[in-house]
Amino acid sequence: MLDINLIRENPDLVRTALKNRQMESTSVDDILRLDEKRRTLLTQVEQLKAERNTVSKEIGKLKDAAEREKKIAAMREVGDKIAALDKEVTDVEAELTSLTSALPNIPDERTPVGASEEENIVLRTVGQLPEFGFEPKAHWDLGPALGVIDFERGTRITGSRFYVLSGTGARLQRALISFMLDLHTHSGQGYTEKYLPFMVKYDTVYGAGQLPKFADNLYKDHEEELYFVPTAEVPLTGLHMGEILDEAKLPLMYTAYTPCFRREKMSAGRDVRGIKRGHQFDKVEMYIYAKPEESDVMHEKMLKDAEAVCVALGLTYRVKLLCTADIGFGATMTYDLEVWAPGCNEWLEVSSVSNDRDFQARRANIKYRPADGGKARFVHTLNGSGLALPRTLIAVMENYQQADGSIVVPDVLRPWMGNVDVIK
């Protein structure tokens, strides 16, 4: 959430940010109007309360019963006015909160201005596109032929966009998750693993910036008012919701695996084949709570840590800097990692590494106490996939396929595969 003082004092900055994100900026005027109305109402309430306090003291000193009763009656009217104004303040504040909650974060000045994802910038490509002495197959052909991906039974169990992984396919998915968690926690990267609830309450989803904007994309238990997590970023934000952290403990660096659930609206003709996009998927997440002056450094660290997964798996990948039209709702600056899938013949996004600065911290009320004992300040939060499945699984299958249709298991995954070296 944006600081109301920023909107009040620099509305043109917010309007420009919305314009650069390809969004309407009329809500800024509504916010300023409501903010002014709220402050006017609060002033009126304070004046009436001051009047009531003064007169109440006078009433206690009056000896004339008629005069005392007259002032008491007048104060009853003042009390009714205060109650009416308090209700009006509550209504205005609710409307103001609704509007400010819908405002995205301000893009960093280093985020390129662009009108669509086509204007994202490729910063670098690491590795060479693999060459095969045969026509590489896509995972939607490789998987069923090996008996490791079952589309038919996934659809039978649930519906379209669901699938079943079997045998060494299921084990390969599990191996990737275990490998990535161990890389983030035991290779010097410094993350602490968390096992998190897969369902969270409204306040947690709101604090992470997923509500109210993405309400239509979330799966919800309406009876219990709980939401299935769209990403581990949400419960990782909620870990310290409402807390004041010690500066000495920052940065706090967490990693977690969760299944993720999203009611994504998938357009016909886009990602319709295979397992690239679905309503349920797995992901290993990285999350950092940092001091404001350290968040840029942590952003680069998180990108490096995500890249380390691609390097260890021997995947060709590229790093993109997202433009203003493509960064996430809460992000100020985002790097995307895309791995090459030779069977699909395309780059697949496996990670978005974002610096949200104090946007989530304001919504979730997460602060830290400076070591010098000064006023508590909002932390900065950063998040990134490390990495997302099943696209990483797709990349491994398609890059390590052999002419006979088998798949060589990357060396780093074999300890989690029972030393199976080839899927055939």
| Residues 6 or more apart whose Cβ sits within 8 Å of residue 324 | 17, 20, 21, 22, 107, 111, 112, 113, 114
From the candidates 193, 349, 377, 414, give the one annotated as an active-site residue: 349
Catalytic site includes residue 124: no
Q: How far apart are CA 356 and CA 2, in angstroms?
A: 11
Catalytic site includes residue 262: yes
Q: How far apart are CA 397 and CA 408, in angstroms?
A: 8
Catalytic site includes residue 52: no
CA-nearest of 264, 242, 240 to 254 is 240
Q: How far apart are CA 166 and CA 330, in angstroms?
A: 37
Catalytic site includes residue 391: yes
Q: How far apart are CA 256 and CA 238, in angstroms?
A: 13
From the candidates 38, 171, 262, 363, give the one annotated as an active-site residue: 262
**Residue 49 one-letter amino acid:** K
CA-nearest of 278, 248, 300 to 394 is 278
From the candidates 352, 354, 363, 398, give the one annotated as an active-site residue: 352
DSSP for residue 251: S
Catalytic site includes residue 277: yes
Angle, helix 26-61 to helix 11-20, in steps of 10 degrees = 150
From the candidates 161, 351, 391, 398, give the one annotated as an active-site residue: 391
From the candidates 277, 318, 369, 414, give the one annotated as an active-site residue: 277
Q: Catalytic positions, please? A: 262, 277, 349, 352, 391
